[in-house]
């Protein structure tokens, strides 16, 4: 069963862009991957540039990859699906009012910090990962 999440970026001009991610949205997978592998504005923008995600992985390929690939992020656009591009919001208030809600919501803030929403409030993702001593699933597999 899927654990759905959203991944968003708060741009320097205040706008917010968000994509949907279908698989492994929990902090011990998507949260750790975002914190470790997508920790710069450029990396997050690149991640979101292909739209909605099927499976988040540590790398983004410039060309479509198979959906069973374990190294590169897979996007719905890779299957030719339409209407999968990132959704835009005029500012954070617009985002909070109209965004797509899922089990886990990740936001890369203007301060270049990942936050996660737990249904009540936003929390610093790095603090949660460190406090709970969550390991990178790709390091453990190696």
Q: What is the pTM of this model?
A: 0.94
Query: Quick one: pLDDT at residue 142?
Result: 52
* Backbone phi, psi, residue 30, to 5°: -60, -40
Q: Please, what is the average pLDDT of the chain?
A: 93
Distances (CA, A) of 112 to 3, 15, 57, 106, 142: 25, 14, 20, 12, 29
Q: Which range marks the domain in which residue 38 is found? A: 5-141
pLDDT in tens, 40-84: 999 999 999 999 999 999 999 988 888 888 899 999 998 888 889
Share of the chain above pLDDT 90, in %: 80
Question: How large is the average pLDDT for residues 8-21?
Answer: 98
Query: Quick one: pLDDT at residue 79?
Result: 84
- Number of domain units in the chain: 1
């Amino acid at each position: 069963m899927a654990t759905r999440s959203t991944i968003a970026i708060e741009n320097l001009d205040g706008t917010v862009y968000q994509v949907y991610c279908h698989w492994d949205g929990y902090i011990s997978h998507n949260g750790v991957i975002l914190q470790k592998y997508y920790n710069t504005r450029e990396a997050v923008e690149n991640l979101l540039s292909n739209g909605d995600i099927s499976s988040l992985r540590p790398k983004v390929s410039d060309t479509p990859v198979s959906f069973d690939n374990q190294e590169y992020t897979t996007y719905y656009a890779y299957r030719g699906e339409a209407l999968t591009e990132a959704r835009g919001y005029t500012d954070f208030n617009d985002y909070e009012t109209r965004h797509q809600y899922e089990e886990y919501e990740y936001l890369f803030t203007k301060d270049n910090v990942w936050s996660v929403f737990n249904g009540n409030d936003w929390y610093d993702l790095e603090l949660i990962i460190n406090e709970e001593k969550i390991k990178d699933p790709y390091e453990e597999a190696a």
